[in-house]
């Protein structure tokens, strides 16, 4: 069976890749299980050297990697180059800070000496998504490798070329053979890797449905998991906000990565007093974004990654309109080839509609009007998801107070939600559990070991 690399802008098949056969999967796991044991005993300073080399290669090759992303999943070139730069930033960050993060922590006890070590746990399987085909991989791999683990990547089936190029990059960066390997499998094929006893932990970024399946499989075999799942992030605009600024950033927050981001703002919860002004300015900002071929330099929004995803987005829009929402902008599948979908604004979105209750993974914004701050917080929390939230107010202290009451993993006051190597990233509720990035992400895949010496 083969995996296909398909250009979502045209529907053209670019390449076919043979699925990794079971005997080869077995060899990959055997190699990883052998190599991490030596790797984990090396000084951290040696383990981070390939990270610095990888950062240089990412910057040198960013235009090439951007083209692979554009062709396989529709990301505009400028955004793909920025994604490669962000991966390089993560490499540099951990190259500088991993030693301090992994240093032994002394504890005063009844022992003559006692301390905490952070030791590698072994082979980490990563099941990664297509929407940020480089960043999502580096986000897990860089801290995992720095901690002394080996990584096996099961990438999304529609970005096999990106998977191949990432494995090649680590090899070119001087990472010892066997510490980062890729298996090309359909999604169903991940199960037989999860259950393999040589895999000690699993990390998945994807939908909450996929997270439920993978989490159950891993739990049955008592394996540690980190699940970074979907989101329906609220973007709260209070009556004292600078509405023009909030509307501009709101469009950016909704349309980042052509709307295909778990932390893209999706529910725009606006206090009624400023709702009309916000809607007008927000719609203008959304309309100004240019949709087109991701290989064209001026394109800001490419196609959706697959036609079936675009069609499901249209279903969500139509169903929300049937439940009382009003289309202000977009909302119709354009003619022509490819999986394109226009920036879309829905006003008066109601509970019980897909735009309110589900994750809309594309350039569709749901505007929800509320009376005041109290109702804004209630609506923000009225979601099965809890990944990120953005709060807009002229009073930062007010924003911080509201941040305590919103049930999510990250709150950004007067800014759009984003991931940053210096800050932990993850969610609650159906947005998953565990953290990536910062020292918290690095320590997800270590054995926190107590040593007590009499």
| Total number of domains in the chain | 2
pLDDT 10s digits, 13-38: 999 999 999 999 999 999 999 999 99
What is the three-class DSSP state of 142? Answer: helix
Exposure of 142 by Cβ count < 10 A (0-12 exposed, 13-18 middle, 19+ buried)? buried
Alpha helix (H) residue ranges in 74-152: 77-101, 135-146
Together in a domain, 159 and 261: no
In a domain, 426, yes or no: no
Together in a domain, 411 and 354: yes
Mean pLDDT within 433-452: 98
In a domain, 165, yes or no: yes
Together in a domain, 225 and 243: no
Together in a domain, 194 and 255: no
Between the alpha carbon of residue 433 and those of residues 70, 428, 444, the distances in Å are 30, 6, 11
Mean pLDDT within 151-178: 98
CA pair distance 126, 132, nearest whole angstrom: 14
Give me the domain span that covers residue 177.
2-229+431-453
Q: What is the pLDDT of residue 104?
A: 98
Together in a domain, 348 and 238: yes
CATH number, residue 22: 3.40.605.10
Q: What is the pLDDT of residue 155?
A: 98
- Residue 166 makes CB contacts below 8 A (sequence gap 6+) with 134, 137, 138, 153, 155, 180, 182
Contact between 408 and 382 (Cβ < 8 Å): no
pLDDT 10s digits, 225-251: 999 999 999 999 999 999 999 999 999
pLDDT 10s digits, 313-330: 999 999 999 999 999 999
Together in a domain, 49 and 195: yes
Together in a domain, 207 and 256: no
End-to-end CA distance of the chain: 59
Residue from 83, 165, 228, 359 carrying the catalytic annotation: 228
Say how far residue 193 (Cα) sits from the centre of its chain: 22
In a domain, 60, yes or no: yes
Q: What is the pLDDT of residue 1?
A: 74
Between the alpha carbon of residue 291 and those of residues 192, 338, 340, 383, the distances in Å are 40, 12, 8, 30
In a domain, 52, yes or no: yes
- Alpha carbons within 13 angstroms on the beta-carbon side of residue 238 total 19
CA pair distance 439, 427, nearest whole angstrom: 16
Residue from 35, 72, 262, 373 carrying the catalytic annotation: 262
The reply to whether 228 belongs to the active site is: yes
In a domain, 109, yes or no: yes
Contact between 140 and 436 (Cβ < 8 Å): yes
CATH number, residue 382: 3.40.309.10
pLDDT 10s digits, 298-309: 999 999 999 999
Together in a domain, 96 and 194: yes
The alpha-carbon radius of gyration of the chain (Å, integer) is 22
Together in a domain, 214 and 336: no
Together in a domain, 59 and 86: yes
Q: What is the pLDDT of residue 177?
A: 96
Contact between 88 and 58 (Cβ < 8 Å): yes
CA pair distance 202, 225, nearest whole angstrom: 5
- Alpha carbons within 13 angstroms on the beta-carbon side of residue 387 total 30
The reply to whether 262 belongs to the active site is: yes
Together in a domain, 246 and 285: yes
In a domain, 193, yes or no: yes
Together in a domain, 342 and 438: no
């Amino acid at each position: 069976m083969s995996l296909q690399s398909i250009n979502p802008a045209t529907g053209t098949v670019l390449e076919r890749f043979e699925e990794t056969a079971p005997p080869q999967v077995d060899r990959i796991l055997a190699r990883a299980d052998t190599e991490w044991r030596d790797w984990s005993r090396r000084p951290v300073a040696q383990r981070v050297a390939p990270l610095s080399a990888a950062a240089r290669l990412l910057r040198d090759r960013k235009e090439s990697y951007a083209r692979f992303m554009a062709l396989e999943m529709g990301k505009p070139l400028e955004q793909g180059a920025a994604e490669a730069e962000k991966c390089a930033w993560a490499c540099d960050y951990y190259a500088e800070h991993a030693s301090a993060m992994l240093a032994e922590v002394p504890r005063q006890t009844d022992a003559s000496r006692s301390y905490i070590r952070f030791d590698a746990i072994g082979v980490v399987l990563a099941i990664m998504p297509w929407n940020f085909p480089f960043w999502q991989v580096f986000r897990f791999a860089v801290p995992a490798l720095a901690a002394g683990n080996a990584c096996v990547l099961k990438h999304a089936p529609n970005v096999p070329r990106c998977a191949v190029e990432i494995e090649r990059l680590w090899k070119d960066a001087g990472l010892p053979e066997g510490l980062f390997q890729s298996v090309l499998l359909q999604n169903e094929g991940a199960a037989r890797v999860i259950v393999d006893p040589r895999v000690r932990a699993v990390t998945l970024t994807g939908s909450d449905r996929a997270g439920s399946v993978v989490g159950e499989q891993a739990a049955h075999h008592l394996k540690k998991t980190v699940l970074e799942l979907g989101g329906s992030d609220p973007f709260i605009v209070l009556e004292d906000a600078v509405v023009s600024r909030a509307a501009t950033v709101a469009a950016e927050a909704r349309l980042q990565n052509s709307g295909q981001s778990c932390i893209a703002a999706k529910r725009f919860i606006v206090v009624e007093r400023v709702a009309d002004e916000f809607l007008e300015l927000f719609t203008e900002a959304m309309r100004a974004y240019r949709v087109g071929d991701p290989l064209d330099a001026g394109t800001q929004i490419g196609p959706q990654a697959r036609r079936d995803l675009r069609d499901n987005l249209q279903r969500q829009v139509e169903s929300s309109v049937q439940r009382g929402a009003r289309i202000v902008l977009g909302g119709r599948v354009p003619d022509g080839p490819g999986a394109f979908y226009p920036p879309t604004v829905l006003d008066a979105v109601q509970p019980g509609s897909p735009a309110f209750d589900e994750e809309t993974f594309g350039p569709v914004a749901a505007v929800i009007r509320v009376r005041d701050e109290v109702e804004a917080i209630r609506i923000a929390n009225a979601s099965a998801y809890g990944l990120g939230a953005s709060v807009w107010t002229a009073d930062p202290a007010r924003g911080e107070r509201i941040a305590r009451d919103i049930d999510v993993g990250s709150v950004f006051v007067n800014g759009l939600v984003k991931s940053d190597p210096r800050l932990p990233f993850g969610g609650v509720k159906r947005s998953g559990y565990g953290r990536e990035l910062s020292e918290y992400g690095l320590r997800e895949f270590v054995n926190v070991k107590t040593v007590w010496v009499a």
